[in-house]
């Protein structure tokens, strides 16, 4: 079952705001990499230890996806993203 449709953008926060301004809800599901979360402090990892993971956390954005999403809504998401500069 598909439950997330994740994209990456170097302008993630700006894109998220742009989509919000166009009434398209997005989420950032994993804003903090696991090795920097409190639950994993015992591993003694610090920022920079896993640069790829950290970059993913900074650039990933989840777009709307659910079984009832209409084709017209999908087209709107595509158009708004394509219009983003």
pLDDT category at 40 given cuts 50, 70, 90 is very high
The C-alpha atoms of residue 72 and residue 38 are separated, in whole angstroms, by 41
DSSP code for 42:
G
Q: What is the pLDDT of residue 72?
A: 98
Closest Cα partner for 9 from 63, 64, 70, 71? 63
Q: Cα separation of 51 and 59, whole Å?
A: 12
Fold annotation for 5-83: 3.90.1150
> The whole model's pTM is what?
0.88
pLDDT digits (tens, 9 = 90+) for 56-82: 999 999 999 999 999 999 999 999 999
The three-state secondary structure class of 8 is strand
pLDDT for 85:
87
For the chain, what is the radius of gyration of the CA atoms? 15
In the structure encoding, which two tokens stand for residue 39, read together? Answer: 């639950």
């Amino acid at each position: 079952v598909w439950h997330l449709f994740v994209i990456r953008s170097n302008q993630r926060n700006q894109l998220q705001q742009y989509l919000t301004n166009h009434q398209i809800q997005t989420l950032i599901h994993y804003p903090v990499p696991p090795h920097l979360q409190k639950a994993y402090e015992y591993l003694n990892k610090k920022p920079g230890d896993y640069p790829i993971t950290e970059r993913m956390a900074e650039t990933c954005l989840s777009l709307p996806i659910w079984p009832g999403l209409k084709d017209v809504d999908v087209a709107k998401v595509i158009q708004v993203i394509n219009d983003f500069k």
